[in-house]
């Protein structure tokens, strides 16, 4: 679908309801469908992965047994992984020795390897693990167990980008393999950073360490897009946001009109630059008068539509939220957390949010249109997010190749006049998080239990992980 529909065209095509907006999770469809609105969403290619079956020749005494049907077992793996990993182009190989594994490595560039150990003592897993590519090492139980356990220890000690799977459930290995399309999508992604700072060095580190290309956009360039935004279409977006809100408190309609123009400006810039995510130095540029509207409602709309909008020009949080969007199909919520050890809660507070925490096709929650909390100006969103739900919260330090992560269960939306507008509380090990806090203030929260998948993805990317809710 063209990302340049007007609001009228969108309403007509969608039968008058925003429920038609959709974005399948990456594991279902690599962003192949465009919502009929201004938010651009760009497709990503399939990951290229070689699956290597590691075993000795049949007829040799070894685990699993002397006369084992390795080809028959490999066929089962091929059928299950092909069906379970639709966003992967697999090549299938057998390696009976380390030398044969090294020959496979030389055959061509891939996004990664799945090594299915159907037998032991081949040397192939070690060779593949040291290829420099991310590897999912799978133990076919009672067949490859000894070599997998030993090589898994090597991978941990040497900090290799290896995820080890030892499970009787095929889905566990399939889930790990489905991280390769996320890695591929990150490599093909572009982040638009609206800032007047020189971000070249930071952009180079992001490209080298996690994949995306960062494109700068100055406030002068943004002003040009803003001036060209259609006031009538901006009014249609403003009226939609007001109409769908539970209520509007501080802002006037004129402020919402400015937000509509900002949304059209940022989405137009993202479309022309083919950007998969937008972040903006909103506080610095607004306080200095270089922009006349906050991007809060623009980010709100982009996140609801299945794209990525992040505040404050925070490239670490942008990379984190974009990565988790590809992994889950859900938007992240960037926040400045507040810890309350008396209630064993962490409160995620910010003025940019989403009200479709389960993704564009998920149920919407109520929201209130407010001013930006810190200066009482502009327009932002107070999202009343679902309670009683598991959440995963994390942050990547891209330059340092580190990740922190914790889990919780949402308990309430805090009604407090101080600090940012949206304040989502979650039950967690608050004291441990307080004691372990590191890596800046921002965190990105995703609805759902994605802790294991996020940690495995970090390992494949060569990123160290610290679980900040665990007792030291």
Least confident among 97-101, 114-118, 287-291? 287-291
Residue in 275, 430, 265 with CA at minimum distance from that of residue 342? 430
pLDDT band per the 50, 70, 90 thresholds, residue 284: low
At 47 the pLDDT is 98
Residue in 339, 440, 443, 428 with CA at minimum distance from that of residue 389? 428
User: Is the confidence at residue 147, as pLDDT, over 80?
Assistant: yes
CB 185 within 8 A of CB 163: no
Strands 367-370 and 380-383, sheet pairing: antiparallel
> What average pLDDT does range 340-347 have in this prediction?
98
Query: Regarding predicted confidence, which is higher, 416 or 454?
Result: 454
Which SS3 state, helix, strand or coil, does residue 38 take?
coil
Angstrom distances, CA of residue 355 to CA of 123, 310, 368: 51, 15, 10
Dihedral angle sign, alpha carbons of residues 96, 98, 100, 106: positive
> What average pLDDT does range 333-362 have in this prediction?
95
At 4 the pLDDT is 37
pTM: 0.90
* Cα angle 279, 281, 283; round to 5: 130
Q: What are phi and psi of 217, to 5 degrees?
A: -135, 120
> What average pLDDT does range 99-114 have in this prediction?
96
Of the chain, the end-to-end C-alpha distance in Å amounts to: 50
**Cβ count near 188 (within 10 Å):** 16
pLDDT band per the 50, 70, 90 thresholds, residue 158: very high
CB 304 within 8 A of CB 237: no
Least confident among 168-172, 239-243, 281-285, 415-419? 281-285
pLDDT band per the 50, 70, 90 thresholds, residue 250: very high
At 20 the pLDDT is 30
φ/ψ bin of 360: left (φ > 0), alpha (ψ from -120 to 50), beta (otherwise)? alpha
User: Is the confidence at residue 166, as pLDDT, over 80?
Assistant: yes
CB 161 within 8 A of CB 462: yes
User: Is the confidence at residue 416, as pLDDT, over 50?
Assistant: yes
Report the DSSP beta bridge partners of residue 115: 52, 137
d(CA 169, CA 175): 10
Report percent pLDDT > 70 for the chain. 90
> What average pLDDT does range 186-192 have in this prediction?
97
Sequence-distant (6+) residues with CB within 8 A of 267 are: 3, 38, 39, 40, 298, 302
At 33 the pLDDT is 35
pLDDT in tens, 12-57: 333 333 333 323 344 333 333 333 368 889 999 999 999 999 999 9
d(CA 367, CA 34): 25
Q: Taking the C-alpha atoms of 187, 3, 309 and 234 in order, what is their torsion angle to the nearest 10 degrees?
A: 160
The full set of domains in the chain, from first to last, is: 47-182 (3.40.50.2300), 190-467 (no CATH)
d(CA 198, CA 204): 12
> What average pLDDT does range 108-116 have in this prediction?
95
Residue in 305, 449, 330 with CA at minimum distance from that of residue 27? 330
pLDDT band per the 50, 70, 90 thresholds, residue 373: confident
At 420 the pLDDT is 81
At 282 the pLDDT is 63
């Amino acid at each position: 679908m063209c990302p340049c529909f007007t609001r009228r065209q969108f309403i007509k095509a969608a039968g008058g309801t925003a429920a038609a907006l959709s974005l399948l999770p990456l594991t279902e469809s690599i962003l192949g469908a465009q919502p009929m609105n201004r938010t651009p969403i760009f497709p990503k290619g399939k990951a290229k992965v070689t699956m290597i079956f590691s075993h000795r020749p049949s007829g040799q005494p070894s685990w699993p047994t002397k006369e084992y049907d390795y080809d028959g077992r490999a066929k089962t793996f091929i059928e299950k992984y092909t069906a379970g990993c639709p966003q992967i182009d697999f090549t299938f190989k057998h390696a009976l020795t380390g030398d044969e594994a090294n020959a496979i490595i030389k055959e061509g560039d891939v996004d990664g390897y799945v090594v299915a150990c159907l037998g032991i003592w081949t040397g192939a897993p070690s060779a593949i693990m040291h290829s420099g590519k991310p590897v999912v090492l799978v133990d076919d139980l009672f067949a490859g167990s000894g070599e997998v356990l030993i090589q898994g220890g090597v991978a941990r000690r040497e900090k290799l980008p290896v995820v080890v799977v030892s499970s009787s459930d095929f889905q566990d290995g399939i889930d790990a393999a489905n991280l390769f399309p996320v890695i591929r999508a990150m490599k093909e992604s572009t982040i638009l950073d609206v800032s007047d700072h020189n971000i070249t060095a930071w952009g180079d580190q992001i490209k080298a360490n996690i994949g995306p290309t960062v494109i700068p956009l100055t406030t002068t360039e943004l002003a040009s897009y803003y001036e060209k935004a259609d006031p009538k279409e901006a009014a249609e977006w403003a009226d939609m946001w007001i109409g769908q809100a539970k209520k509007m408190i501080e802002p006037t309609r004129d402020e919402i009109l400015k937000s509509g123009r900002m949304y059209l400006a940022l989405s137009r810039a993202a479309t022309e630059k083919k950007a998969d995510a937008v972040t903006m130095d909103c506080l610095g540029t607004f306080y200095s008068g270089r922009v006349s509207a906050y991007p809060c409602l623009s980010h709100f709309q982009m996140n609801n539509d299945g794209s990525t909008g992040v505040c404050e020009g925070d490239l670490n949080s942008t990379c984190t939220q974009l990565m988790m969007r590809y992994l889950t199909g859900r938007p992240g919520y960037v926040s400045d957390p507040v810890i309350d050890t008396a209630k064993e809660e962490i409160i995620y507070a910010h003025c940019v949010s989403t009200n479709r925490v389960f993704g564009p096709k998920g149920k919407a929650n109520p929201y209130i249109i407010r001013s930006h909390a810190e200066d009482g100006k502009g327009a932002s969103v107070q999202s009343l997010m679902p309670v009683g739900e598991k959440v995963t919260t994390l942050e990547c330090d891209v330059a340092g190749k580190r990740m922190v992560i914790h889990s919780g269960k949402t308990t309430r939306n805090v009604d407090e006049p101080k600090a940012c507008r949206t304040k989502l509380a979650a039950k967690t090990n608050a004291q441990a998080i307080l004691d372990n806090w590191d890596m800046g203030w921002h965190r990105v929260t995703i609805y759902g239990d994605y802790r294991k998948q996020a940690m495995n993805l970090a390992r494949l990317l060569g990123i160290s992980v610290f679980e900040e809710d665990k007792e030291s």
